[in-house]
């Protein structure tokens, strides 16, 4: 199941796979476009744990994307 979450100045679309342990794969994208800027992968014992781990990784990655000025053109 795919779901989109806001992370800083970006959105991350996360999809979970598996029956245990679960894997969450997400793509960080600007809020204005759907252009994927970074990919994250996380694992967890449950689907919720995998999503939470992916959101933590996305938060760190989005801070790095924001600091790399080249991505600011995507941000409102």
Span 26-54, pLDDT tens digits: 999 988 888 888 999 999 999 999 999 99
Q: What is the residue extent of each domain of the chain?
A: 2-70
**Range list of H helices, 2-73:** 47-67
pTM equals 0.83
Per the CB < 8 A criterion, the answer to whether 26 and 3 are in contact is no
Residue 60 in this model has a pLDDT that exceeds 70: yes
pLDDT above 60 for 14: yes
């Amino acid at each position: 199941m795919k779901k989109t979450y806001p992370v800083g100045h970006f959105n991350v679309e996360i999809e979970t796979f598996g029956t245990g342990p679960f894997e969450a794969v997400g793509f960080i994208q600007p809020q204005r476009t759907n252009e994927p800027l970074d990919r994250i992968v996380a694992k967890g014992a449950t689907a919720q744990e995998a999503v939470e781990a992916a959101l933590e990784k996305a938060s760190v990655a989005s801070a790095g994307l924001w600091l790399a000025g080249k991505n600011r053109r995507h941000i409102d």
